Amino acid sequence: MASKRLRIILWLVAAANFVAAVGLKAIHESQPSKEFWASLPGWLPWVCFLVTILVPTTQPLLVEVGERRMRTRLQRADDVRQFLAAGFLKIVEDTGLDWKRIGVHVFLVKGFYKWKSQQRIAKIKLANSVPSGVTWTRGKGVIGLCWETHRPVTHDLRSLEQHEGISESDWDALPAGVEKFGMSHADFLRTRGSYGIVSAVPILLDGENKYIGCVSFDTPSDCPEKVSEKMIEEDLRGVAKLLEVFLAKSA
């Protein structure tokens, strides 16, 4: 997301430089006419001149800032994966699940105001998996419910299999008591059949008042039905506590 913003800023800076250069050329050649430029504010040529001077200096600086932030994010992701590795091994040891098929992840809240969502910053999952493309906002999915409640949440998402083939209108019309995990019909189609048991434990700062993300665990849809929710949540909570200390120091 940050790299996308940087690309947009660089594009806007380049566009401003192009417009300013064209403007200066037009002023120099009196195009379309001297009267046209005389009718505009006198400071406009100076602004165009300053833009063409400053942009060549600003662009490399922005690129350097972006690269530095990228290095910081990559380093933090590597550090977080070390904590995840310990939690991953503990879950495998405690549950006996197939280590080649389960996954543990760290999601952090990104964005601002209405555009906040949880974005994955690190994971340990050996099996190939395709990103769902779902934007995990507050209240959506197991990790969204974890965000909404600030509490550990565990669900067996195979309960959604009963809705296989359901139309969008029927999905929207499901009774309030039917758990849809805050997902739209499109979200359901993107995630169906991908998960079995999913668990999430919050990462909290400021005396557990500020939710900044979660540690999550998932199994494939054909995993054993009997898995200790309490044991998984306790193992994830251990990782979350370590991350709370680490992320508080690196904030």
Helix axes of 2-28 and 44-95: crossing angle, nearest 10 degrees: 170
Sign of the dihedral defined by the CA atoms of residues 24, 27, 29, 31, in that order = positive
pLDDT tens by residue, 12-49: 777 777 777 777 787 777 777 777 767 778 777 777 77
Q: State residue 65's pLDDT score.
A: 65
Locus of tokens 């209240």: 139
Interacting residues of 168 by C-beta distance below 8 A, sequence separation 6+ = 185, 186
Distance, CA of 138 to CA of 117 (rounded, Å): 7
Q: State residue 6's pLDDT score.
A: 64
Q: How many other β-carbons are positioned within 10 Å of the β-carbon of residue 241?
A: 15
pLDDT tens by residue, 108-127: 999 888 889 999 999 999 88
Distance, CA of 22 to CA of 56 (rounded, Å): 16
Q: State residue 136's pLDDT score.
A: 94
Where do the structural domains in the chain lie, given as residue ranges? 2-66, 75-250
Can you give the pLDDT of all 251 residues of the chain as single tens digits? 556 666 777 677 777 777 777 777 877 777 777 777 677 787 777 777 777 777 777 767 666 666 666 677 777 778 888 889 989 999 999 988 888 889 999 999 998 888 899 999 999 998 877 788 899 999 999 999 999 999 999 999 998 988 989 999 999 998 866 788 999 999 999 998 889 999 999 999 877 679 999 999 999 888 876 778 889 999 999 999 999 998 887 66
Q: State residue 66's pLDDT score.
A: 63
> Which CATH number does the domain 75-250 belong to among 3.40.50.300, 3.40.50.880, 3.30.2130.10, 3.30.450.40?
3.30.450.40
Contact of 88 with 220, CB cutoff 8 Å: no
Q: How many other β-carbons are positioned within 10 Å of the β-carbon of residue 81?
A: 16
Distance, CA of 179 to CA of 186 (rounded, Å): 16
